[in-house]
């Protein structure tokens, strides 16, 4: 008899979490497992899953309570904090029980650490739980929230699956840990692809050097730091274009609005200032679905993060034989090999970034050699078949199938 696996997903966008989950569900042994997905929010991810004919158990309409280095509530997020807290209370009191009774799964797979309210209810109902940890926990101000989430994840889970050694750190003493890196679809990210349509769409010349950054306007992903690096690079290679993909909203509050002085607003102002000098060299794509097309026309990809997270684009670039220059922080050092598939450099060392970018753009042989090694490394370590096989073994152990 097939085992019913309920996946609960928290987010709204089309980032690494929903894509990795999609790859897992598509590659599952359907003779043994019957997957269904419960979404907290209606979003692009829901549309994508529907287009793939994946069973959607429902859309809940309540939020989660995130506390990761990529997303956590600071003091000036009080109104959002209170809303998330109230959604968590509702989930624990009646929302989770209602949905879990209706779906009646054999196992629940939670797609982030922020779903502890669902885990508590599932534990009370005797349903086995897998926690997929896709981001490092934030320290916060006093560490209380981190301590609580760390404790709840360990208490309610049967197995914890961090996507990197870095993300596993809060539970390194737990015997529930099973580290499994995210995969990439090598059929989609094909190293033989070259998109003339992408060049035409954004009025790019084939012969111009092109750098790809998929971070949008993100302090954590190092947007401002890389713009400063790029400005220095242009003095050496003035024809270089930066393809900047992702959400990029530079609107700031009016000068008489006190929110203008919040950290996020000040960050936007600093970015706006440098863009006045660089706009002619930057191609803004906004959020794009054709990531593989953008990678295909670029000479290299950059990941200048200031906060450690599992940077999926590094692997996607590797599958397309493109070298990467990334910040020298964990877990980026798990996704590439310094000096072989690209370079890991301290984000504060602007001169070194410029030097290595210049080398990879001007030395085509070096670029190709590193790209080929990146492909071999990623194909060996981040393929979908191996990923799904490892997770199925986790399911089998829990369910004794």
Domain extent listing, the chain: 3-183+383-399, 196-381
DSSP string, 8-68: EE--SS-SHHHHHHHHHHHHS-TTTEEEEEEESS-SHHHHHHHHTT--EEEE-------BB
pLDDT for the residue numbered 253: 59
Domains 3-183+383-399 and 196-381 agree in fold: yes
Residues 252, 278: Cα–Cα separation, whole Å: 19
Least confident of 22-26, 138-142, 148-152, 375-379: 138-142
* Pure H helices in 280-383: 291-297, 312-319, 350-362, 364-381
Q: What is the mean pLDDT of residues 292-303?
A: 97
Measuring CA to CA, which residue among 341, 364, 369 is closest to residue 209?
A: 364
Contacts of 355 (CB under 8 A, 6+ apart): none
pLDDT for the residue numbered 136: 86
19 confidence band (pLDDT: 50, 70, 90): confident
Distance of CA 28 to the CA centre of its chain: 22
pLDDT digits (tens, 9 = 90+) for 241-270: 999 998 877 776 555 555 655 667 888 888
pLDDT at 314 over 70: yes
Residue that the structure tokens 């863009």 belong to: 275
pLDDT for the residue numbered 260: 57
Contacts of 88 (CB under 8 A, 6+ apart): 63, 64, 65, 117
Cα torsion 331, 337, 341, 344: sign: positive
> Cβ–Cβ contacts within 10 Å for residue 354, how many?
19
147 confidence band (pLDDT: 50, 70, 90): very high
pLDDT digits (tens, 9 = 90+) for 70-105: 788 887 788 888 988 999 999 999 999 999 999 999
Q: What is the mean pLDDT of residues 199-227?
A: 94
**Tokens in use for 106?**
């054999």
Higher pLDDT, 19 or 110: 110
pLDDT at 6 over 90: yes
**Cα–Cα distances in Å, from 30 out to 36, 45, 54, 121, 383?**
12, 21, 12, 27, 19
pLDDT digits (tens, 9 = 90+) for 342-372: 999 999 999 999 999 999 999 999 999 999 9
Number of H-type helices and E-type strands within the chain: 14, 12
118 neighbors 93 (Cβ within 8 angstroms): no
Q: What is the mean pLDDT of residues 271-286?
A: 90
pLDDT for the residue numbered 73: 82
Task: Tell me what percent of the chain is helix, strand and coil, each rounded to the nearest 5.
Answer: 45, 15, 40
Q: What is the mean pLDDT of residues 316-338?
A: 96
Q: What is the mean pLDDT of residues 261-283?
A: 84
For residue 331, whether the previous peptide bond is cis, meaning omega lies within 30 degrees of 0, is yes
What mean pLDDT value characterizes the chain? 92
Q: What is the mean pLDDT of residues 153-181?
A: 94
| Topology (CATH level 3) of domain 3-183+383-399 | Rossmann fold (3.40.50)
pLDDT for the residue numbered 259: 60
Higher pLDDT, 341 or 256: 341
Domain at 196-381, CATH from 3.40.50.720, 1.20.1740.10, 3.40.50.2000, 3.90.650.10: 3.40.50.2000
pLDDT for the residue numbered 265: 81
Q: What is the mean pLDDT of residues 51-77?
A: 88
51 confidence band (pLDDT: 50, 70, 90): very high
pLDDT for the residue numbered 13: 75
pLDDT for the residue numbered 257: 57
């Amino acid at each position: 008899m097939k085992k019913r696996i309920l996946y609960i997903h928290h987010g709204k966008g089309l980032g690494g979490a929903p894509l990795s989950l999609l790859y897992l569900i598509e590659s599952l042994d359907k003779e043994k497992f019957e997957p269904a997905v419960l979404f907290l929010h209606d979003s692009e991810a829901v549309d994508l899953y529907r287009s793939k004919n994946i069973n959607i158990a429902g859309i809940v309409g309540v939020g989660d309570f995130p506390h990761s280095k990529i997303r956590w509530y600071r003091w000036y997020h009080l109104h959002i904090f209170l809303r998330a807290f109230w959604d968590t209370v509702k989930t624990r009191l009646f929302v989770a029980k209602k949905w879990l009774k209706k779906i009646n799964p054999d196992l629940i797979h939670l797609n982030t650490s922020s779903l502890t309210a669902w885990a508590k209810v599932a534990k009370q109902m005797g349903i086995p739980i897998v926690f997929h940890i896709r981001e490092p926990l934030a320290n916060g101000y006093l560490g209380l929230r981190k301590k609580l989430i760390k404790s709840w994840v360990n208490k309610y889970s049967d197995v914890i699956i961090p996507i990197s050694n870095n993300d596993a750190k809060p539970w390194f003493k737990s015997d529930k840990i099973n580290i499994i890196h995210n995969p990439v679809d090598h059929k989609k990210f094909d190293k033989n692809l070259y998109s003339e349509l992408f060049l035409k769409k954004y009025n790019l010349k084939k012969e111009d050097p092109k750098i790809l950054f998929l971070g949008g306007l993100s302090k954590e992903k190092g947007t401002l730091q890389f713009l400063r690096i790029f400005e220095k690079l242009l003095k050496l290679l003035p024809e270089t274009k930066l393809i900047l993909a992702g959400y990029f909203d530079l609107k700031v509050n009016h000068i008489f609005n006190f929110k203008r002085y919040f950290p996020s607003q000040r960050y936007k102002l600093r970015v706006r200032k440098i863009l006045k000098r660089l706009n002619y060299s930057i191609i803004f794509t906004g959020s794009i679905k054709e990531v593989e097309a953008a990678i295909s026309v670029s000479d290299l990809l950059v990941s200048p993060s200031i906060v450690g997270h599992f940077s999926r684009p590094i692997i996607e670039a590797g599958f397309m034989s493109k070298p990467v220059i990334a910040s020298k922080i964990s877990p980026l050092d798990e996704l590439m090999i310094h000096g072989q598939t690209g370079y890991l450099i301290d984000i504060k060392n602007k001169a070194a970034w410029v030097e290595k970018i210049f080398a990879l753009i001007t030395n085509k042989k070096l670029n190709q050699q590193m790209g080929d090694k990146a492909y071999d490394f990623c194909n060996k370590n981040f393929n979908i078949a191996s990923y799904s096989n490892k997770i199925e073994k986790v399911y089998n152990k829990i369910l004794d199938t």
